[in-house]
Amino acid sequence: MIGLLITMMLPINAQKAVIEESVTDIVCDGPTHAITHYKEVVTILNPQGGASLANFACSCSDKDKLTSFKGLVTDANGRVIRKLKESELQKNEISPYLAVDDYTMYLDYAPPVYPVTITYEWTIDSRDDLITFPRFCPQTSYDVSVKKASYRLKVPKSMTILHAQQNIPSEVNIDKSAKYTQLLTLEVNDLPMLENEPYSRPLREKVPMARFAPADFTYYGTQGSQRSWKDLGLWQYSLIQGLDVLPENVRQQLHQLTDTMKTDREKVEALYRHLGKTTRYVAILLGIGGMKPATATSVYKSGFGDCKGLTNYMRAMLKEVGIASNYILISTTNRRFMKDYTCAGQMNHAILQVPLPNDTLWLECTNPQLPMGYVHEDIAGHDAIEITEQGGRLVRLPLYADSTNLMRSTVNIHLSQDGTADLKVSQETFNRQYEDRIPLTKMNEKDRQKILPRIVYAPLTEINRIDISENGARISMDTEIKSQKYANQTGQRLFVPICPLHHGYSVPNDTAGRQEDIWLELGYQDEDDITLTIPEGYAIEACPKDINIEQPFASFSFSIKKNDKTIHVKNHLLMKSGTFDKSLFPQLTEFLQSISNIYNQKIILKKLSL
């Protein structure tokens, strides 16, 4: 009856499911062994929820083994539809990583009716990899509420546990009344569903979550501490010690390549290019639970490595030519580490920091095709840990100013009397907008011709030329196209699009009762300079008016100048990154609708009477 009552009470068109109960129960008997029992009871209300929430999946390895599993499916009246057995689980050993023993145990289940309640219970036995404990995160999807969720962690009394939480009002309770053990518990109840509101923070920053880790740990035979970033960095530094030895022939080659260069920056650039020419990226999870890089020699011999191995290889090459650099751990998904929680499990990537006298370079060693020192969107502005002999230090990568994420376009349109037009488009993109255009540089001519209509919106287009060039964090595109129907002809008039760029603006609904503040992740600037040549025998009948719009989150200007032969249009849009009060959301939707309307406006030309 629970499922039926929920169905009657909740807005079915929005809600997908209810987590009736979520239990994570961990018993750790020492620094290298823990058993975790999970129980998930979810009532799925409709097929939208059943598409994902009905299935079971569990990550395993030779260190984390599934030791028990059972499942139960009941209908809205509590009648058993099906019992699910461990023998029904399937094993998937396909992994994006090379040379790993990780695998997934999974079960795909399609409910025959809705609502339906599914209960899964399973146990994981973990050994040697207890640098962190399983996190508490009962709400991992939009449109799913949580009735009750609990977390229990029993550890020896001698073990110090570090913990941190986000979006959870209650505090972790610590019970030390037992003689030899202590019990940490956390519980949440009656969590409303999270709505996927447009222009809001990513889901991972909204969900209730808590992390737990031992302050001192034994991990794959190594000992370390994470009571501070300094301590964790000392342990991580111990893992990379001695991995920077290069074969003699490689050392000689590096000196031949760089010894005649005058500056360290030139040497770094030469070695960065060398890295790109001689290696490729392959994901690997070997070495101290995937946290220890491959040796520089092994990367040289194989010609490939993961982020850790390639970063260490670049570090070794720089060291050989006398340039110091620092190993950096960072997250490509989380902008910020949890406050006062100096533990592993928050980083998933490694890059290299090269401090130079007048600059600090950040090198993405998995993609040396990027310009040297370019800080790409997956790491720009993110927290990171600098690893040195003195330990770890919290740093933050630079973030490009909104105005430098620029797209500058010059368009010349020569319009004919029948509405056809010849267009010449020159476009430059910088920084974050440059990243969006990188795929164009890798495409052949045929694929570029398929993509171009998404950049320049001109009907029935014949593409005569596309030239793409790259210079640092800038991509230039020059193209010549012919549109067989650029302007619509009606009687004596031509209706001419004012801008062949920026179509398809997405304008969200101005929904009442918005919960989240506005979050604009990417700030950028667009500058358009458009010249339209009026065909012989036509004159301007109507033109849009100039406009300027200023908002806390953006600014936009449109201006038009005209004479008997040409019309000159200038657009300027600046979107500002950051967080803005939710009360401004109506202004945001109005702003986006306004610029969408402006970009879609038309100039009316009328044929002159003879």
pLDDT tens, residue by residue, 110-153? 999 999 999 999 999 999 889 999 999 999 999 999 999 999 99
User: Is the separation of the CB atoms in 284 and 299 below 8 Å?
Assistant: no
**Closest CA relative to residue 197, chosen from 484, 514, 432, 450:** 514
User: Is the separation of the CB atoms in 164 and 210 below 8 Å?
Assistant: yes
User: Exposed/middle/buried for 531, CB within 10 Å: 0-12, 13-18, 19+?
Assistant: middle
Domains 17-213 and 225-396 share a fold: no
Architecture label for domain 17-213: Sandwich (2.60)
pLDDT tens, residue by residue, 408-452? 999 999 999 999 999 999 999 999 999 999 999 999 999 999 999
Residues 6+ apart with CB under 8 A from 292: 239, 240, 243, 286, 308
pLDDT tens, residue by residue, 214-268? 999 998 889 999 999 999 999 999 999 999 999 999 999 999 999 999 999 999 9
585 pLDDT above the threshold of 80: yes
pLDDT of residue 503: 79
Say which amino acid occupies 434: Y
List the domain boundaries for the chain: 17-213, 225-396, 403-508+518-607
Residue 81 tokens, joined: 């539809």
Mean of pLDDT values over 53-72: 94
The 10 Å Cβ neighbour count of residue 13 is 8
What CATH number should be reported for the domain whose range is 225-396? Answer: 3.10.620.30
Residue 130 tokens, joined: 């207890």
CB under 8 A, 24+ apart: contacts of 462-465: none
Angle at 74 between CA 121 and CA 114, to 5 degrees: 115
The greatest distance separating any two alpha carbons of the chain, rounded to the nearest whole angstrom, comes to 105
Angle at 516 between CA 142 and CA 572, to 5 degrees: 110
DSSP count for the chain of H helices, then E strands: 11, 36
CB under 8 A, 24+ apart: contacts of 251-255: 251/320, 254/317, 254/320, 254/321, 255/320, 255/321
Tally the residues of the chain: 610
**Local confidence band at 284 (pLDDT 50, 70, 90 cut-offs):** low
**Local confidence band at 93 (pLDDT 50, 70, 90 cut-offs):** low
User: Reading across the β-sheet that carries 554-562, which strands appear in turn?
Assistant: 461-470, 474-483, 421-430, 406-415, 524-533, 566-575, 554-562, 547-551
pLDDT tens, residue by residue, 516-575? 999 999 999 999 999 999 999 999 999 999 999 999 999 999 999 999 899 999 999 999
Q: What is the DSSP letter of 87?
A: G
DSSP symbols for 102-170: -EEEEE----SSSSEEEEEEEEEEEESBTTSPPPB----STTEEEEEEEEEEEEETT--EEEEEES--S
User: Is the separation of the CB atoms in 534 and 603 below 8 Å?
Assistant: no
**Closest CA relative to residue 397, chosen from 310, 332, 304, 303:** 332
pLDDT tens, residue by residue, 298-317? 999 999 899 999 999 999 99
pLDDT of residue 10: 40
